[in-house]
């Protein structure tokens, strides 16, 4: 397992004051914790994650890959990408953590890359009630099907020690409001100088500590659903949409899946 995982999921004690969490439980190494006790700690913990923690490493990787493939809508490059990604892993583990003594417990599914190349961590899947809340918070907005499907795998997802990443659905409205407050007095435009209505930008990813966002753009439907663009809080611009190819220069994606593969490819 990647060394960065043990560093990040470290428990502070008298002899390790620099730890990140008050309590850390790695489920596959804690056979005494049964399902009822685990569910009591984290009510949102799904039974599948608990059962996954009781399997061998190879089965954990294979079953999780198959779940992603079954959950996400068809995309011509997705199967090959996911096969490559899951082949690059040396483990998938479930952590239950408590940040401080009085904080609620959270569960993460952690994807460890081979050769200490880093890791990804995802929160528990979006519930039906959380989905309804998201729809009510953005009444009239039809989020892409692949985005909603991904939230039903992980309602929040990031790489290595990034503290932001893909925003959980229950924080989307707050994130949108903060973003709108930030751009309220700005003249937002494309990189070619065309004016953009910032209220049509809905950020779903935020770069940690930097004013950079990936946003759904309600004015752009390249493939019958909202595409997404990169917003820079430094230049006050969104990425151009002339081309369909994803690149470091052109951070506009016709689908959420295209962006997700780009995001995950950077570390593999």
Ordered by start, the domain boundaries in the chain are 3-124, 169-265
More confident residue, 223 or 232: 232
User: At residue 226, does pLDDT exceed 70?
Assistant: yes
Each residue's pLDDT tens digit, 177-205: 999 999 998 899 888 888 999 999 999 99
Backbone CA torsion sign across 208, 128, 174, 227? positive
- Nearest residue to 223 (alpha-carbon basis) of 244, 201, 197: 244
Residues 213, 265, 62: CA angle, nearest 5 degrees: 120
Question: Minimum mean pLDDT among 45-59, 121-135, 138-152, 221-235: which range?
Answer: 221-235
Question: Minimum mean pLDDT among 43-47, 59-63, 171-175, 208-212: which range?
Answer: 208-212
Percentage of the chain beyond pLDDT 90 is 76
> Which tokens in the block code for residue 244?
């369909």
> Which tokens in the block code for residue 153?
């795998």
25 forms beta bridges with 96
What pLDDT does 268 receive? 46
What pLDDT does 97 receive? 96
In the block, tokens 């506009």 appear at 252
């Amino acid at each position: 397992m990647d060394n960065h995982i043990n560093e990040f999921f470290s428990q502070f004690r008298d002899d390790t004051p620099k730890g990140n969490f008050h309590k850390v439980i790695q489920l596959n190494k804690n056979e005494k914790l049964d399902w009822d006790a685990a569910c009591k700690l984290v009510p949102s913990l799904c039974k599948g994650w608990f059962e996954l923690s009781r399997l061998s490493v190879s089965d954990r990787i294979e079953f999780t890959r198959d779940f992603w493939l079954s959950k996400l809508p068809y995309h011509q490059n997705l199967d090959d990408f996911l096969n490559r990604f899951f082949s690059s892993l040396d483990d998938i583990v479930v952590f239950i953590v408590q940040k401080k003594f009085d904080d609620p417990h959270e569960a993460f599914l952690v994807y460890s890359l081979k050769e200490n190349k880093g890791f990804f961590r995802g929160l528990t899947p979006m519930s039906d009630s959380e989905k309804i809340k998201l729809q009510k918070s953005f009444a009239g907005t039809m989020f892409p099907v692949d985005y909603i499907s991904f939230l039903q795998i992980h309602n929040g997802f990031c790489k290595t020690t990034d503290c932001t990443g893909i925003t959980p659905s229950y924080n989307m409205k707050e994130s949108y409001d903060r973003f709108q407050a930030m751009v309220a007095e700005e003249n937002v435009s494309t990189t070619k100088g065309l004016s953009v209505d910032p209220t049509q930008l809905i950020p779903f990813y935020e770069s940690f500590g930097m004013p950079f966002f990936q946003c759904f753009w309600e004015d752009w439907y390249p493939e019958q659903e909202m595409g997404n663009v990169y917003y820079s809080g430094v230049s006050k611009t969104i990425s151009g949409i002339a081309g369909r190819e994803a690149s470091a220069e052109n951070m506009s994606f016709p689908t959420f899946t295209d962006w997700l593969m780009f995001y995950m490819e950077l570390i593999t």
